[in-house]
Amino acid sequence: MNCLEIHQLNFSYPGGRRVFRDLNLSVQSGEKAALTGANGAGKSTLFQLLTGLLKPQSGSIVAWGKTVTSEEEFRQMRRRTGLMFQDPDDQLICPSVEEDIAFTLLNHGMPPREVAGKVDEICRKLGLAALKTRVPFHLSWGQKQLVSLAGILVTEPQLLLLDEPTAGADDHLKSLMLDHLQQFTGTLLVSSHDSDFLERLCSSAYHISNGSVMR
Residues that bind other proteins (CB under 8 A): 48, 51, 53, 75, 78-79, 81, 83, 85, 87, 89-91, 93-95, 98-99, 102-104, 106-108, 112, 115-116, 135, 137, 151
Is the distance from CB of 93 to CB of 66 less than 8 angstroms? Answer: no
Q: Closest approach of Cβ 87 to other proteins, in Å?
A: 7
Rounded alpha-carbon distances, angstroms, from residue 78 to 81, 117, 160 = 5, 22, 10
Sheet of 204-209, strands arranged across: 81-84, 159-163, 187-191, 32-37, 204-209, 212-214
Question: What are the E-state strand segments in 80-177?
Answer: 81-84, 159-163
Of 115 and 173, nearer to other proteins (C-beta) is: 115
Q: Closest approach of Cβ 26 to other proteins, in Å?
A: 23
Of 45 and 192, nearer to other proteins (C-beta) is: 45
Of 40 and 200, nearer to other proteins (C-beta) is: 40
Of 137 and 175, nearer to other proteins (C-beta) is: 137
**Nearest to 129, CA basis, from 152, 145, 146:** 146
What is the C-alpha to C-alpha distance for residues 136 and 133, in angstroms, rounded to an integer? 9
Q: Closest approach of Cβ 209 to other proteins, in Å?
A: 25
Q: Closest approach of Cβ 6 to other proteins, in Å?
A: 19
CB proximity list for 125: less than 8 A, separation 6 or greater: 180
Do you know the residue count of the chain?
215
Of 135 and 214, nearer to other proteins (C-beta) is: 135
Pairing of strands 2-12, 58-63: antiparallel
Q: Closest approach of Cβ 112 to other proteins, in Å?
A: 5
